[in-house]
Structure 1
Amino acid sequence: QHTYVVIMAGGVGTRFWPFSRQTYPKQFHDVLGIGRTMLQMTFDRLADICPPENVYIVTSQEYYALTKQQLPQLSDHQILLEPSRRNTAPCIGYACYKIAARDPEANIIVTPADHLILKEKEFTDRVKVALQATAESDILVTLGITPTRPDTGYGYIQFDGLAEKEVKRVKTFTEKPHLELAQAFLESGDYVWNAGIFVWNARSIRKAF
């Protein structure tokens, strides 16, 4: 009952232009042609982890109608409308302070609305491991993706490869390295792509802010 989800859905999707436009960005599109938009798929993906009344959407005022149309089961207080776009940190802070006011013991998952995750069972298993860790300790957990190529378009996380625990300590973050550095990261074996998905409890994120 203390698990909450924050779905960040305020982006304008400029990299997907012209498919994604400011008036109708990609998170509100049925990208795969399966009858569910990326926002709806993100909501569905976390249904086994969090009750629907504990899900919060953070978006822009102009996307309120789209959000309500696609997730009609949400109450108005679950749709948080940012007065202006200030990127990820203020979006997270806004939502987490709202949740902490409701439940100081909250354990919170923060995820973008526009991720494609095909191995959903594996994903939810990883999230449950993170939730267990943040329920027991005041830590900030970020999910990493095992890299398959030296991609220069992603951020990289270096972790403590010697730690035997499933949740490992982060050493460094590197944002979009050049190709030679990305190749070195891949060969080292202790780097993952930064998924931009986070798990923490209300106490730890307030302390961090």
Structure 2
Amino acid sequence: MAGWGRVREAAGRLRRGWLPVVEATLAATVAWILATRLVGHPQPFFAPAAALIVLGQARGQRMRRAVEVVLGVAAGVLVADLVVQALGPRTTWTVLTVILLTVALAVAIGASSVTVVQAAVSALYLVVVSPPTESLVPFRFVDALIGGAVAVVASQLVDARRPLAPLVSEFRHTFEELAGVLGEVAEALDRADDAAALAALERARHADAGVERLRGAVQAAGEAL
């Protein structure tokens, strides 16, 4: 019975969160198609990867994350190209040097954790899996640009016609919860009921999560607009 309960709980989470699953799958696939068939890149790993990374960020931060992903890939590719030319691919010293220089460069310019990780992973991928070629075409940088652009577009499709609707809904839910908390506080004061006051306090603490969701909805609405 406990196993079936977990299955039903997982199914409920999937039913409530099916939209991000479909959104991420379609965005990564479209980014791959654009990079391979429209642009003609041979191995556009960073196109679907960038799309998934951008969509994995919170709503309201995706535009900035898309720019950070592209810059992170560019920095990683640049460092990997220089180090591989000097030390050769797939050696311990190359891996150590590439990671050290990439992370240090990203930290020095004040990059976010997303940019630091993306830059390091991009550089490591080029050193270990797919060493840079002598081609002057910046395939990987363009792939990251395609993936980031596709992710930004996909994240806005749902809200394009009604960009303020999610914000209005979140406002309504948050203020209804706050009104309920204030009502319980007033009732506890009127009756001088310690237990009711503690219950109101506990409900108020849980309302903090709603305020955070509201803040995220404000950022998302600004991004959509």
Q: TM-score, normalised on structure 1?
A: 0.28
TM-score by length of 2: 0.26
Larger Rg: 2
Question: Which has more helix, going by share of residues?
Answer: 2
